[in-house]
Chains A and B, each alone.
Chain A
């Protein structure tokens, strides 16, 4: 239920960001990372619409590949 998925930040407006992953654009909250410097282009781990951690590009890609595979099965 609480899997977190890496998304790439497109735009930031206060605590709200538009983030992108695998063809989906979504509004996410940066409230739980408000003490971190974040900029468009950064990857964050998103759980139930809230970014909980900043991650590297490589880690984001590894996770995306994994989720792609899992989706195929469902």
Chain B
């Protein structure tokens, strides 16, 4: 049986054989995709006129600064045990130097904070500690929200509440396209989001915006198949939605998971860090589950009205000073174009969220040896972008 790399090679050959249609900028919206692209050296292997742009592909990077701040304050000031996906622990917020600026630092300062790998662990911890309030700070995209919804639907003890910070991926792309500032010509849609939600969610890209779109999985072969499809669509001038991950993705997705999601959560306008409010892009708990809403249970007590310190906090909701993550997640600049990249900001000592998360574009580029040159630019990529 041919290995994934044989497939990848043959896809590269097929792509090279396609008639060229000029420069093509392809946006991906999935940190998993960006990881495969960067790790496999796909940018150098593909013809020069194809530019691959990392987009808003990581729920850690775009998690509102306010939500992380609230989680930190909750863990520090209330008698709770706060659990969160491990990736969230190191994301920095904007606080004065002496205050803990991440959940990790709050933990070091004595707050009860524990990383978990699955929502099931949040419920298990709450059951094991019936006398304590357990708060699950749950950030993630649709793929992650379905399991969070499943946990709640299965029934959780009263002492568990959820600080929900879930987001939907497609509205961010729709917002970019509607803004008229989209710096891309085609889209690779996220395979695991589509596994749950269905490929059809992305129909608006070809239908409303006339851009080619293909759903891809996470092997180099699946991504290359998606690029091949996109280039063919461009050449034929027939933008469409193609599913290049049929092993896992169907048109309608996992309908049971979608119905569990809809039962537990509803869609609402929501903030994205560094970007602002995006209509209908976030999840909030349905009324039937609002008893488990940590915001109701705790946060309303510490709202700006009765907490002047919070009101006065500088740079609420923004990225840290000097950090270009907002432009990076919108695909407007590449990580190496941030002046802090590899200098003040490295995975060991991250300034912005994109350097913290395993799926943050800055972190992926750095981990794969992409270095900024003296001008802070990576010539082979930025030349095409200029």
What residues of chain A have their CB less than 8 Å away from a CB belonging to chain B? 1-4, 15, 27, 29, 31-35, 45, 47-50, 52-53, 55-56, 58-59, 62-63, 65-66, 69-70, 73-74
Contact = CB atoms under 8 A, between A and B. Distances in A.
Contacts of B141: 2
B192 A2 contact: yes
Contacts of A63: 217-219
Contacts of B146: 32, 50, 52
28 contacts: A1-B139, A1-B144, A2-B32, A3-B359, A4-B195, A32-B147, A32-B256, A32-B260, A33-B256, A35-B256, A45-B195, A47-B143, A47-B144, A48-B144, A48-B147, A49-B117, A49-B118, A50-B120, A50-B146, A50-B150, A52-B195, A53-B195, A55-B247, A63-B218, A65-B3, A66-B219, A70-B35, A70-B36
Contacts of B139: 1
Given A73-B39, A74-B367, A49 B195 contact: no
Contacts of B358: 1
B4 A52 contact: no
A65 to B, nearest CB: 6
Nearest to B140: A2
Contacts of B342: none
Contact of A45 (B85, B154, B219, B248): B248
Given A32-B254, A32-B256, A49-B121, 15 more contacts: A1-B59, A1-B358, A2-B59, A27-B120, A29-B120, A31-B154, A31-B260, A32-B257, A45-B248, A48-B119, A49-B119, A50-B119, A53-B195, A66-B218, A70-B35
B205 interface: no
A32 B264 CA distance: 13
B3 A4 contact: no
A31 to B, nearest CB: 4
A27 to B, nearest CB: 8
Nearest to A66: B219
Contacts of A50: 118-120, 146-147, 150
A70 B39 contact: yes
Interface in B132-165: 139-141, 143-144, 146-147, 150, 153-154
